[in-house]
Amino acid sequence: MSAADLADFRADVRAWCRAHIPSDWRAAQTGATDAEFVAFQQAWFQELRGAGYAVPHWPAEWGGGMSVAQQTVLYRELAAHDAPRLVLAFVAIHHAAATLLAAGTDAQRERHLPAILDGEIWVQGFSEPDAGSDLAALRTTARRQGDAYVVNGQKVWASGAAHADQCLLLARTDPAAPKRRGISYLLMDMRSPGVEVRPIRQATGESHFCEIFLDDVVIPAGNLVGPEHDGWRVAQETLGTERGMTMLELAERLGNGGFRWLVEACARPGRDGTAPLDDSRVRDRLAELETEVTGLRALCADLVANDAPGPADASIVKLYYSELLQRMTDFGAQIAGPAAHTVLRKPLSSGWESGAWVLDFVGSWEWTIPGGTSEIQRSIIGERGLGLPREPKAV
């Protein structure tokens, strides 16, 4: 696409944003009920879908087909115009779609990709209570019985499970195999008998995460993704998406939403008539953060555009984003001062940097966990990226 074509595309997106983004969505989503949140998210997804903006990263035959340059422009304009985020569809349009496109069968793609476009909500069932950061230590079992698997176990930290229709599930199908080789990857209908979801109340007051209890849940063998016992390899596709593709939008949100609000907060005069921006130390810190955000956005664009990324590139981006998010929201909480501690609610469809700085800072810590903790990312960078010796295992 030429520069002129890209400029035309940007103008189209801007015009669409001005016409379609609800001006009052932040007020409407602050204190909204669960049902109002779900209804708003579903309606906003269809609004974006109607414009061709819901799944720009998917292949063209499935409704996407945008170049990386177009995706960057789209995400930048949506963030700059303060559009709501697709919080509920996040796992479906990124993790589930990437997994199905890379390792699913034609039947699985035909079944689920159109359903996702119609609003099917997905959750990722990977983490377990006793596995910690070692995902391969999972204990949930899937026992083959005829043309189905019978699943028993427990998952935790499942984002949005309370609303999910489908689950990307990892379960152990060969207990005797080395732990990374005896795992299978299954698609589970969340309405199946034996599935129980319990929301977890977080420090921010939200219940975004849930526990999932699985008691003799029957999953058809046709819902197996990839070869049996080879789910660890398939899961790397899902995790790679979480560490890489999703970051393109999040980086633009951080730069065009979070940082812009931070600068505005710094320019706002206090009771004594002075503004934080009058302090040279604040200006220096803003310059540092802007430099970091610019670097992050360049890293993300390079990763997504690269057909053969390095073995640790996605981990570098994920680690950098999550820790930069903490640094920025931490500084935002300092600038906002004690009054920010009285803000107890934020808009439900906002991003990780909503401008409610204390809540954003508390919530930012969760980003060092999903897709592999920061410690896991550092191990991947060291071992796969730098070729360092593998971390010694406890005897």
What is the rounded distance in angstroms from the CA atom of residue 123 to the CA atom of residue 88?
9
Total count of residues recorded for the chain: 395
What is the rounded distance in angstroms from the CA atom of residue 386 to the CA atom of residue 376?
14
Phi-psi region of 274 (alpha: psi -120 to 50; beta: other; left: phi over 0): beta
Instruction: Find residue 142's DSSP bridge partners.
Output: 151
For 137-161, b/e burial (b = at least 16 CB within 10 A) is ebebbbeeeeebbbbbbbbbbbbbb
What is the rounded distance in angstroms from the CA atom of residue 291 to the CA atom of residue 195?
46
Any idea which residue has 């934080």 for tokens? 276
Angle at 4 between CA 84 and CA 86, to 5 degrees: 15
128 as an active site residue: the answer is no
Q: With the CA atoms of 71, 72, 75 and 80 taken in that order, what torsion angle do they form, in degrees rounded to the nearest 10? A: -150
* Of 242, 249, 292, 366, catalytic: 242
Instruction: Find residue 166's DSSP bridge partners.
Output: 122, 189
Report which of 50, 49, 125 is spatially closest to residue 89, judged by C-alpha positions. 49
What is the rounded distance in angstroms from the CA atom of residue 192 to the CA atom of residue 215?
10
Give the residue numbers annotated as catalytic, written as ranges: 242
